[in-house]
Amino acid sequence: MKIIISEIPDEGIEVKFKETIISDDSSYPTQAQMRINRTDKEVLISGKIDANVELRCSRCLKDFRLMLNIAVDVVYNPVEDLKGEEKHELKHDELDMGFYSGDELDLSELVKEQIILNIPMKPLCNELCRGICLKCGADLNEGNCGCSEKGTDSRLEILKKLLNKGV
């Protein structure tokens, strides 16, 4: 979804849209609601994004879907201003900054950036996910595989062998 900056009325506009954002080989069904205001050259966007993202659990490696609820607060300035002698003062330190060029601002790009920024680095399908057994690869969420009951952890076994060699 794109907006024409010169068409933003003085009182601002409220936009709501649904879109499936494509990033690399993932697609994220997304709903966004934003308030857009313009002051001279600045475009202020605030609102929220709800995105349904598919992730892979960092413990059990299973794919799962997660709903991201992202609060947006971004100030856009014309990219042309960056070139000028009079560099932009960062008066909006506390806010995210963005740049637009020409008279158009692509809200889909904004949504995409926000989703990527908010995807967890180490996603977990569940806080209590038990992961997979390092020895046999069984999903421990589905029950105990029995490896630990037989006593040894493969890493410990290797360590023991190394220690034995040294003696």
Site for Zn ion, rule CB under 5 A: 57, 59-60, 125, 129, 133, 135-136, 138, 145, 147
Query: Shortest approach of Zn ion to residue 127 CB, angstroms?
Result: 10
First to last CA, the chain: 69
Residue (102 or 137) nearer to Zn ion, CB:
137
Query: Shortest approach of Zn ion to residue 101 CB, angstroms?
Result: 42
Residue (111 or 129) nearer to Zn ion, CB:
129
Question: How many Å apart are CA 115 and CA 111, to the nearest integer?
Answer: 6
Query: Shortest approach of Zn ion to residue 114 CB, angstroms?
Result: 25
Residue (1 or 68) nearer to Zn ion, CB:
68
Query: Shortest approach of Zn ion to residue 58 CB, angstroms?
Result: 8
Question: How many Å apart are CA 57 and CA 123, to the nearest integer?
Answer: 5
Residue (57 or 107) nearer to Zn ion, CB:
57
Q: What count of Cα atoms within 13 Å lies in the side-chain half-sphere of residue 64?
A: 18
- Which token pair is 148? 């630990």
Helix (H, G, I), strand (E, B) or coil at 12: coil
Helix (H, G, I), strand (E, B) or coil at 36: strand
